[in-house]
Amino acid sequence: MLLHFYSILVIVILLSCYVDYKTRKTNYQDIKKLNQQFWEWIQSDTAPRPSNAIFVQLYKESYGDQSLIKKIPEVSAFGNIKYVNVNILSSFPSKDQRILAEQLAILDNLEDYFTLEFQKTRSIEYFIRMIVNWPLQLLRYLGFDEKSTNRK
């Protein structure tokens, strides 16, 4: 009976390692493809438009719910300059030169981040940490936060 329990535990841990590896690999492939599509899209009028949904999903996974607003000057009818807030996330993709540099920088940063995250999964150290930290990850998944699981 105990052997049965341990074999199920090992299978669950290995399955969670595989799911984590596959998620990181998919994110890495998605950002590489999105970055390439964006470059093609800004250079050509016939290239397909990159996905805003994938961009926002990957951005939120990397940066959390941090918003990305830029103030852009606009000239009104009487020559007055007013500043409007532009949300870079919801504006993606845009060929507007005033936010193009920010979009390119974010894409490069996301590609660096997800490349590093994917490369981490290729080491034995990563899998050892994954196995050691698996009970804490299970508690987080079940809704317990770290503060409630620490000893007082």
Greater pLDDT, 77 or 24 = 24
Asked whether 79 and 90 are in contact (CB, 8 A), the reply is no
pLDDT in the model for residue 64:
87
Euclidean distance between CA atoms 19 and 32, whole angstroms: 20
Q: Does residue 69 come out as left (phi exceeding 0), alpha (psi in the -120 to 50 range) or beta?
A: beta
pTM over cut 0.95: no
Q: Which of 75, 103, 74, 76 is nearest to 87 (CA)?
A: 103
Q: Average the pLDDT over 79-94 and give the result.
A: 87
Residues 58-68 have pLDDT tens digits of 999 998 888 88
Residues 106-133 have pLDDT tens digits of 999 999 999 999 998 888 888 888 778 8
Euclidean distance between CA atoms 13 and 20, whole angstroms: 11
Residue with tokens 């870079």: 88
pLDDT band at 139 (very low <50, low <70, confident <90, very high): confident
Euclidean distance between CA atoms 107 and 68, whole angstroms: 13
Euclidean distance between CA atoms 60 and 49, whole angstroms: 20
Taking the CA atoms of the chain, what radius of gyration do you get in angstroms?
22
Euclidean distance between CA atoms 86 and 70, whole angstroms: 5
DSSP 80: -
Greater pLDDT, 19 or 144 = 19
Domain layout of the chain by residue ranges: 2-121
pLDDT in the model for residue 149:
52
